[in-house]
Amino acid sequence: MIEFSGYITGNAQKYYKKKIIKLSLFVIITATVLYIPVIIFVETALPLKGLGITIGIAAPLIFCLGIVLITSKRFIKDILPKRILISNSVIQIELKEESESRMTDEVSAVYDYGDFYEICFKKSKDFKYLCQKDKLTQGTLQEFEALFEA
């Protein structure tokens, strides 16, 4: 059994926050691009000229406000990995108010970033499986690395 216990901090937390910001920016850009036809329709079909442009400017600003709220310390604390337990070919992660389990055979890669590991899964862009090395409470790093060697 291998256990990483405690909220991630330092470089792992910075990495996690960058991933959330990149994902949020992708959503904003995609939503803005998809929203362009609506803006054009509003500008051409409605008698209120300038409304479409106003909406076009306001929408990305509202989305950016969403990023600020998502990356706030309070929200980040709710979605940070609290505990990761690897036992009997099952990887279990606990967040503040929820937990999730995955099988070890679903792992496509494990990346070593010096202070922490990132576990990546097949057919998933999930990035919350971050194992900070100094949070290891049971098992050894050698056992962890041996578990995922191909």
Can you give the pLDDT at residue 4? 92
pTM score of the predicted model: 0.74
Residue 60 clears pLDDT 90, i.e. is over it: no
Sheet containing 130-132: order of strands: 107-112, 116-121, 130-132
Query: How far apart, in whole angstroms, are the C-alpha atoms of residue 91 and residue 40?
Result: 48
Q: Rounded mean pLDDT of 116-143?
A: 88
